[in-house]
Amino acid sequence: MDFSKLLIDWYLQNKRDLPWRNTTNPYPIWLSEIMLQQTRVAQGMPYFFSFTKAFPTIFDLANAHEEQVLKLWQGLGYYSRARNLHQTAQFIANELGGVFPNNYKDLLQLKGIGEYTAAAIASFAYNEVVPVVDGNVFRVLSRYFDIETDIASASAKKEFSALAMELIPKENPALFNQAIMEFGALQCVPKSPNCSDCIFNQSCAALQKKKVDILPVKLKKLKVRNRFFNYLIFSDDLANTIIQKRTDKGIWHNLYEFPLIETEKEENFDTLSEQVKTNFQDFNIVSIREENSKSILHKLSHQHLHIKFWNVKVNGHLPNGINSTDLKSYPFPIVLHNFIEAK
């Protein structure tokens, strides 16, 4: 029995019942694919249900305020996905009459939709014969065929796509694409896969050559940047505080945060206190104290944030002060949301 037939038979017996699999409507398929980039299914599922409840159609998403979209996205990370999702919904609703492009090439033109997502929508919604190549597919193919190409290299996508294209049964590309992705997610997992109980244990090249734990090859290491964030939690006579919107490009764009002093290293109390007094001379500051003496480490894919919170008490009333109830309605990065919820 050939690779594709075995794989599809396995899938039909083992697949998870996921809501976006029971439809060919491109809207929920697109939503799920964007949400599941960099995100596990278990984590993404509640967000998918929240979004489809709040925005049942692409017109509902297009008409929403960006802050509502970001608030619902809170905790999923990589917030540019949510902003692009919203802008693309507006484009499809307003420029295309709510109708998704029905092929890979045109889907690729949409904001926030790369080769993988375009292939997924074209395949799952329109049954176009186009290979979907994600991390799971790289892993399955590199192990089964013993391919040592560095999957972080520029040529890898082309090589693996060509191989997947040869394997796709032309009469049912969607089923094959779902099957190979699911096989990578459930069976051919990154660490310690159960090869003894695998449909390919007689034919997998990596298993025969004892290379399962070294494939796929990924050489490019991300350079991680350390940043030191000092958040100032102002509090006035009414117990109000102040926040600001992150308008600069970069992490957490358009989310809210407390006033921030970013430093080159972890600063001691005296140095930081002086900076607060200098930067906020107009405020009648009564006291400054550390909320957490040990920094909270918040890891992003390319940055490690060392976060400290500082309580700053002021006399009088803060300009644009916000009470604790209203504060919770704004979209914050999850590390700040958790801090607010714990107060």
Cα separation values, 76 from 48, 140, 245, 252, 300, Å: 11, 26, 19, 11, 12
pLDDT value at residue 164: 96
Tokens 């484009």, residue?
A: 91
- To the query of whether residue 274 is one of the catalytic residues in this protein, the response is no
* CA 263/CA 234 separation, integer angstroms: 19
pTM over 0.75: yes
Maximum pairwise Cα distance, the chain: 78
* From 33, 67, 95, 171, active-site residue: 33
Block means of pLDDT (10 residues each) for the chain, 343 residues, are: 91 95 96 93 95 98 97 94 97 97 97 95 97 95 96 92 96 96 96 95 94 91 90 96 93 96 92 92 91 91 94 93 95 95 86
Helix (H, G, I), strand (E, B) or coil at 229: strand
pLDDT value at residue 340: 95
Cα separation values, 284 from 158, 219, 258, 261, Å: 61, 54, 18, 18
| Residue whose C-alpha is closest to residue 116's, from 189, 59, 33 | 33
| Residue whose C-alpha is closest to residue 149's, from 223, 219, 221, 200 | 219
